Amino acid sequence: MNIEQHITTLRNELREHNYNYYVLDNPTISDFEFDKKLKQLQELEKAHPEFYDANSPTLRVGGEITKNFETVPHTYRMFSLDNSYSKEDLEDWEKRIEKMVDGKVEFTCELKYDGASISLTYEDGKLKKAVTRGDGFQGDDITANVKTIRSVPLQLKGDFPPLFEIRGEIVLPFEGFAKMNAERVDLGEEPYRNPRNTASGSLKLQDSSEVAKRPLDCLLYSLKGERLPIKTQFESLEKARDWGFKVPEAAKLAKNLDEVLEFVNYWDVHRHKLPYETDGVVVKVNNLQQQEELGYTAKSPRWAMAYKFKAEQVSTVLNQITYQVGRTGAITPVANLEPVELAGTIVKRASLHNADQIEKLDIREDDTVFVEKGGEIIPKIIGVDFTQRDPNSKPTKYITECPECGTPLVRTEGEAQHYCTNTEGCPPQIIGRIQHFISRKAMDIEGLGGETVVLLVNNGLINNYADLYLLKEGQIVPLERMAQKSAENMIKGIEASKEIPFERVLFGLGIRYVGETVAKKLAKHYKTVDALKNASEEELITVDEIGERIAQSVVSFFASEENIAIIERLKSYGVQLEISAEKLANQTDTLKGQTFVVSGVFTKVSRDELKKLIEDNGGKISSSISAKTNYVVAGDNMGPRKKTKAESLGVAIISEDDFLQMIS
């Protein structure tokens, strides 16, 4: 056996032993023998660097230093899940599904593990990239750190596809967490609060050899890719196991909602015996074609629902009610609490939402209140312990003036919140608008964070987001916690933001009610900020999914001379305030005014490509057939119920070829 063959044999042996130990929990050799083989491989690789392999088992020990984690876009967006808390919620969800898809609906039930979401990309069976969830559209590349997690396969086995992604959760088992904390206490250090946050923090350590020392685990549950060899979610879990991934065995195929509820009820009791944190059950439509038919809302898949176990609840004293001012001038009352531990974290504050909520619950300072985590994430006050109330207690009087600038607050009819109208002179509004402008989903300015914005505003260097483009390194360096390199990175990041596309700039402008999805719709329809600026309320309402409230807000924004002046400045600095010529070249009005429903499996283009073609040519996509539908593009296996409904409404059913001919 020559040197290269010896190295290859050792790598294959170590991969198999690693899989047996960390995935199957069934070691076939002793730790001593494993370490001996690993050391032998390390020595051979050191002596023969020409046989380097980026996915060698020796790299599990880490050693790579990452100063800055590169932000990379997700090929497939990582959506969040809608939550349910009762049997009734699940029943309502099932009814909505049955109206939209044909055939019997079965479900896959999986435990919802509480960790850090991750997306792994594999090419030719090798781990190519590991990216955090981030904002769902893009995340941080943490490949070097993830390679140290023993249950993440670096090389797959079996009949894996040439290119695909797999999603999962990186968790810290209770046993490993307890051991880490025992070691910290021995060293006189503060113990970590909970496994989830510790796992998440571990992934962003700069030295991968430090990550390797932490007993992280990776549980996987969702495949993404083009034309994968699977037809159901349950089959995808089985395939992933065959390829070498650690897929939890607890998953169950449920034929109906009764079986789903059996699974939920069982794990609500037995979850405390699991080695990991879990906060609920994820229920998915099992059939992948039905999943495609159901599609997505702006934030979540219609084919999946998270059932959250009852949240932990504690009581504590409400010491003081304070008031925060948001970037739109909205006032949010905040309960400042006597610190209390809740679901593994110390809670000191909770939102009280608005004046109506305070009045409804009759919340007062010095009350003993019941606090729980909504969806086990955000603390909220759910009631008052009136038996503990001081008889001399006075009802809460909601403030009438802005706590920051003293401007009288207004509350418009139909609005839940009070507002400060001093848009240009109220510091939190000024800071909040700039922080929104630089945020990840908007301009995503590298080297500039929320705290730095506060520093720049407080030092009089900027007063609105257009001022960013006039900043010079010499102004930034003298500031607290700033250095030459920080200043250089900030100026580079601001310059690079001039390439951000129009729809994200439009979102970044901070027009009230104009979120990501609405910004995309408006950018696509009007194509330039000038066309949008000149649109009337009546014209705006004719745009797909734009209602009266959004239209009024857009008109109001562009009626402000201050806003127009800022936009003209942004234009002069080279910020993208119209759709690029390249993007426009791929768009037509061929399908303008036409609504399409896409159903079935296609051969010449993927389902997503088909939807993009419809939108690029001015058409609208609907998830269900109605009298307003113009065409159903039908692929193989189109559901009979959809076909019958289209025929009964006189909706034209066309093939994939018919559609491609239509736009050619």
Catalogue the active-site residues: 112
Distance CA 306, CA 169 (A): 15
- CB-CB contact of 505 with 575 (8 Å): yes
The pairing of strands 620-621 and 595-599 is: parallel
- Enter the tokens of residue 517: 């999805």
What length does the chain have? 664
- Maximal C-alpha separation, the chain: 89
Task: Return the bridge partners of 218, or none.
Answer: 170
Give the integer Cα–Cα distance in Å for 143 and 122. Answer: 12
Q: Coil, strand, or helix at residue 305? A: strand
**For the purposes of burial, counting CB atoms within 10 Å of the CB of 522, is it exposed (0-12), middle (13-18) or buried (19 or more)?**
buried
Q: How far apart are CA 522 and CA 547, in angstroms?
A: 12
The C-alpha torsion from 267 through 271 and 275 to 279, rounded to 10°, is: 100
In 30-163, where does DSSP find H-type helix?
31-47, 87-100, 143-146
Cα 617 to chain centroid distance, Å, stands at 29
Residues 6+ apart with CB under 8 A from 38: 14, 57, 58
Measuring CA to CA, which residue among 360, 305, 371, 313 is closest to residue 338? 371
Among positive and negative, which fits the CA dihedral 642, 644, 648, 651? Answer: positive
Q: Dig out the tokens for 456 from the structure.
A: 């720049």
Q: What is the number of other CB atoms lying within 10 angstroms of the CB of residue 614?
A: 23
Helix (H) or strand (E) holding 520: helix 516-526
- Residue among 232, 97, 99, 103 at smallest CA distance from 637: 103
* Cα radius of gyration rounded to whole Å, the chain: 28
Q: Determine phi and psi for 435, rounding to 5 degrees.
A: -60, -40
* Residue 475 CB contacts under 8 Å (≥ 6 apart), including other chains: 461
Cα separation, 550 vs 525, in Å, equals: 15
Count how many Cα atoms sit within 13 Å of the Cα of residue 479 in the half-sphere of its side chain: 23
CB 331 within 8 A of CB 402: yes
Q: How far apart, in Å, are the Cα atoms of 163 and each of 15, 120, 124, 160, 234?
A: 21, 11, 6, 8, 20
Which two tokens mark 200?
A: 């998440």
From residue 659, alpha-carbon distances to 452, 586, 597 in Å are: 51, 17, 12
DSSP letters, 361-400, are HT--TT-EEEEEEETTTEEEEEEE-GGG--TT--PPPPPS
Distances (CA, A) of 22 to 8, 28, 273: 21, 11, 19
Closest CA to 396 of 387, 410, 388, 384: 384
